[in-house]
A and B are shown apart, each in its own frame.
Chain A
Amino acid sequence: MPSLTNSLPFSPAELAYLHTSLSSIPPLRPDARPLSTDFRALRAETGVLPAVNGSAHVGFSDGREAIVGVKLEVEKTVAGNRVTQSEDGAMDIDADGQSRDSGEKRAKGKPEWVSLTLTLPGLRDDDPNLVFLEEMLREPLALSSSTTATSLQDSLIINSRWHWHVYIDVLLISPNGLASYPLPLLSMATHLALRDTRIPKLKSEGEEDPIADDDWMASTYLYQRTTPPGAKPPVTLLIVVVGENIIFDPSREELAAADSVIAVSVGNTSTDGELRLLATRMIDTPARDTMKGVPLSGETQEGVDVPGVWRPRIGGVKRTLLKKVVNTVLAGGIAREVMSGLDGFLSAETSASMG
């Protein structure tokens, strides 16, 4: 449940007006975005912090900002859970993202090597909404790898005794707290920070203790920037369902009147360029805790709907509607558009820094 304590709640009349507008065909959005798939403008920059391996600063026009710092630490691999090696004994980390025979075992990392913390000043560190958000951001990053895809933790292996530990620390500055659900903002900021992250080049080889090269210009990106494009971090999209309409990138007003809220994580974990569905989560809509409206004609019978009078929705989302949501994200091309937008931003910033 997004916290409403930091913002004024909507009245039942406002909620009824918003719901009627959003459930019409085509939906009329309160900020006049013409399409249900339109995203709001955002500002972004990477490389903003001096003492981290990767950083990003993403801000929306309503004043919410996310600052992400990524730090890497060398950690000793626990002896009891020795990393599985390839049968020939050679550690081929450069083969990340390439398909391999299913019979051949590859070194596998562990999800515990990826840590993510989220800080929102004003909230306690053990706030359940905050902890839920943290895990929703971390879960698509640390998925297990399959025979055709490589996960983030597999690329963190140095040798059979040492590995990198990735610490992703997110700072959210939001005047509305969690009312305008910040999941897409945090997801995009984390995506850009991870693609900005660089790993120091190691002078040690094989099974030696790792020693880093002092030359930072010799470091390499955690997510390779190669042609054809390699793996990319996941992005989580937030979708609301109002009536039969599916609306992307909801604002605070749209979230307040939503029938259901769905978070869909997509990622590109292989070199074929195809986006895959990584995670889907239902989020409790804040509309459930609102008060019912009172019709002008006074009390009516129980269960009778009066048009234009607000009544909180009960029940979940239909299965066909959920399938339609996922199809819109993947087959409809929304995920590809978001990913290409982020790619375009990184290309522009790379050429700007080289120029």
Chain B
Amino acid sequence: MPLDTISTYSHTLLRQDGRRWNELRRITASISTQPSSDGSSMLTMGNTVVLCTVTGPREGRGQRDNNNAIVETDLNVAPFASIERRRRTRTDKQIQELQSTISSSFQSHLFTYLYPRSLITISLHVLSLDGGLLVACLNAASLALVDAGVPMPSILAAVSSGIIVPTDDSKAKVEPVLDLNNAEEQELAYLTLATVSGGEKQEDKVSVLMMDSRVEIAASTGKVEAMLATGVDGCKEVRRKMEDVVKKHGAKVMMSRR
């Protein structure tokens, strides 16, 4: 293809949408978008739009854990989200995998021992999809849980990172790229990771790491290391943006109480 990322990147060092390798897409977010729920947020990463509402901690039904709260996720991808219309049912395997990934991420991330025998329900609605589905869901859920007041060590920030390998020379220098869109996800190997801030003067910790692509792991090539390093730095940037949103909303709340 004359216009794909692999063939044009080596000449211009710019991606198809004009970004450089370490630039995020435009991220806008807002919290408390739905006042009737306990926590809510709306996140836009490029052309990916996700709405999230959090209900709980509330009384659990059925299964109960006497020591921790249970986190469950309901992910709904709208039929109009992609360019091609497609209606996904609840039994879609990809949806179920994403739901369990998000549930287990926040089950270990939140301080669930403070709410025994409770249930926290995360409802995610994907309105538009342009790459980074798991990334946007984790970020939106993080913001909604902050809005709901659920204690956690820090905002769980997620990002995707990929690798550009020229097809003619697999030994060439690796070129990592950050925050892939849908077209780039189709042609590049990529992974999704989310990190938790380590606090003052400590490194961030990786909470979520998911990769479905085939990449050489050999240490001499450094492909996986490049993707991980790029992703961790990208997560810092994403967390800074999300923390700005929370701070602005907090200042607005304090202003309205005066």
Contacts and interface: CB of A to CB of B under 8 A. Distances in A.
B82 A63 contact: no
Nearest to B34: A63
Nearest to A67: B127
A71 interface: yes
Contacts of B81: 51
A60 to B, nearest CB: 10
A117 to B, nearest CB: 6
Interface in B88-144: 89-90, 123, 125, 127-128, 130
Nearest to A168: B80
Contact of B128 (A50, A70, A121): A50
Contacts of A171: 76, 78, 125, 127
Interface size class of A (residues with CB under 8 A): 20 to 34
Interface stretch (B3-11, B46-54, B239-247): B46-54
Contacts of A67: 51, 78, 125, 127
Interface in B49-79: 49, 51, 53, 55, 74, 76, 78-79
A169 B78 contact: yes
Contacts of B123: 121-122, 173
A173 B89 contact: no
Given A49-B127, A49-B128, A51-B83, A62 B36 contact: yes
A252 to B, nearest CB: 12
Nearest to B55: A175
A63 B79 contact: no
A211 B125 CA distance: 33
B35 A63 contact: yes
Contacts of B74: 121-122
Interface string A121-143: 11011000000000000000000
Q: Interface size class for chain B?
A: 20 to 34
Nearest to A59: B34
B53 A173 contact: yes
A125 B37 contact: no
A167 B128 contact: no
A196 interface: no
Contacts of B171: none
A173 B125 contact: yes
A121 B49 contact: no
The dominant DSSP class at the B interface is loop
A96 interface: no
Contacts of A175: 36-37, 55
Interface string A59-91: 000111101011101000000000000000000
Contacts of B35: 63
A117 B36 contact: no
B90 A125 contact: yes
Interface in A208-253: none
B34 A71 contact: no
Contacts of A62: 36
B125 A49 contact: no
Contacts of A173: 34, 51, 53, 123, 125
Nearest to B53: A173
A173 B41 CA distance: 13
Given A63-B36, A121-B123, A173-B125, A71 B80 contact: yes
Contact of B78 (A50, A73, A119, A124): A119
Contact of A169 (B37, B80, B90): B80
B258 interface: no
B87 interface: yes
Contacts of B83: 51
A69 B79 contact: yes
B252 interface: no
Given A49-B127, A50-B128, A173-B51, A69 B34 contact: no
Contacts of B78: 67, 69, 119, 169, 171
B85 A49 contact: no
Contacts of B85: 71, 73, 167, 169
B90 A51 contact: no
Contacts of B51: 67, 173
A52 B83 CA distance: 8
B79 A125 contact: no
A121 B37 CA distance: 14
A269 B10 CA distance: 57
B79 to A, nearest CB: 4
A279 to B, nearest CB: 25
21 contacts: A49-B49, A49-B128, A50-B128, A50-B130, A51-B128, A55-B80, A63-B35, A63-B36, A69-B78, A69-B79, A69-B80, A117-B79, A119-B78, A124-B90, A125-B89, A125-B90, A169-B78, A169-B80, A169-B85, A171-B76, A173-B125
Name the 8 nearest CB pairs between A and B, nearest first. Answer: A63-B36, A69-B80, A169-B79, A121-B76, A71-B85, A169-B80, A175-B36, A52-B80
Interface of A: 48-52, 55, 62-65, 67, 69-71, 73, 117, 119, 121-122, 124-125, 167, 169, 171, 173, 175
Interface of B: 34-37, 47, 49, 51, 53, 55, 74, 76, 78-83, 85, 87, 89-90, 123, 125, 127-128, 130
Given A48-B127, A173-B51, 18 more contacts: A49-B80, A50-B47, A63-B34, A63-B36, A67-B125, A71-B85, A117-B79, A117-B87, A121-B123, A122-B123, A125-B89, A167-B85, A169-B78, A169-B87, A171-B76, A171-B127, A173-B34, A173-B53
